Amino acid sequence: MEYDKILAQIQQEFSDTQPSGKVASYIPELAKVPASKFGMHLYDLNGENYQFGDSAERFSIQSISKVFTLSLAMKVMGDDLWNRVGVEPSGDPFNSLSQLENDSGIPRNPYINAGALVVADVLVSSFTNPKAALLTFLHELTGDTSIDFDYTVAASEQSEGYRNYAMVNYLKSFGNIENNVEDVLDFYFHQCAIAMSCRELAQAFIIFANQGTTLDSDREFLTGRQVKRINALMQTCGFYDEAGEFSFEVGLPGKSGVGGGIVAVNPYHYAVAVWSPPLNHKGNSALGMAALERLTTLTGYSIF
């Protein structure tokens, strides 16, 4: 597959496009990121890299981090995790509180905020230093030990994170948070504030295209069964109330973040990351989705 030509075509097609949508501003630090940033990086199972634009610049991965924390929680807790968080799409925005009451504090899935906070609680219970454990996981996946939290972004979200405070307190009232709510939120705000580039995200996500094993070190981080489940959840829940639209347009498992990043995997073929900060009204990168739609259309294959 001539990914170099296809990525060049995608860059060219969108070169004059003014992305629709708005850069996230509810986390004040994110509002400072230029709307014009645009980059894409594809890493295939032959170990080849293809990229364009701002693909090497780090940005705030935000909810993309939920795939990494879910991976760690599945490793440490096994199938018991599913007693505390569901596996159904919510059809609601990522930060919705409304279903929790009817569902007695069991979040619909691990990618909505409520589910990610339960996953964060599992990691806070499981590791003496959960933030260090998460960074170590990313360093091992990418071979790059400079990947770190952006502490300014973490503090910025914490200063305005009223809804997440409400969510974790509500979860705790149902008995679905074991730890001090401040400790869970501190971990959650930091996981969202990890800074990575499209290149680093594509390299970290290659395990989800390769049955849980990295290409360079040939190390198995997850089993094939775990990868099947993580990808299935990305497909059905990775874009919240826009998961259907992303499946319809792109046809790959993927995960978005309000920093404007999207990572998607084509199992047995590649992992791809795209970054464009302006978000559509569902909170997903507008240009990122359009670029990935072109990728699966121009290559002629998605998972469907």
Whichever of 7 and 198 has its CB closer to ligand DON, that residue is: 198
3 state SS of 213: strand
Number of residues in contact with ligand DON under rule CB under 6 A: 12
Q: How many helices (H) and strands (E) does the chain have?
A: 13, 8
Joined together, the tokens standing for residue 256 give: 């978005």
- Among 90, 95, 176, 179, contact with ligand DON (rule: CB under 6 A): 95
- Tell me how far apart the alpha carbons of residues 188 and 195 are, in angstroms, rounded to a whole number: 14
DSSP assignment, residue 82? G
Question: What angle is formed at CA 252 by the lines to CA 248 and CA 253, rounded to 5 degrees?
Answer: 115
Sign of the dihedral defined by the CA atoms of residues 98, 118, 79, 139, in that order: positive
- Among 54, 121, 157, 242, contact with ligand DON (rule: CB under 6 A): 157
- Among 256, 266, 276, 280, contact with ligand DON (rule: CB under 6 A): 256
- Among 212, 253, 283, 288, contact with ligand DON (rule: CB under 6 A): 283
Whichever of 6 and 67 has its CB closer to ligand DON, that residue is: 67
Residue 301 annotated as lining a ligand binding site = no
- Report the run of H or E that residue 270 belongs to, with start and end: strand 270-275
User: Which positions from 50 to 89 touch ligand DON by CB under 6 A, shown as an x/- string?
Assistant: ------------xx--------------------------
- Tell me how far apart the alpha carbons of residues 289 and 304 are, in angstroms, rounded to a whole number: 17
**Which positions make up the binding site?**
63, 113, 157, 164, 188, 240, 258
Binding residues for ligand DON, rule: CB under 6 A, are 62-63, 94-95, 113, 157, 164, 192, 256-258, 283
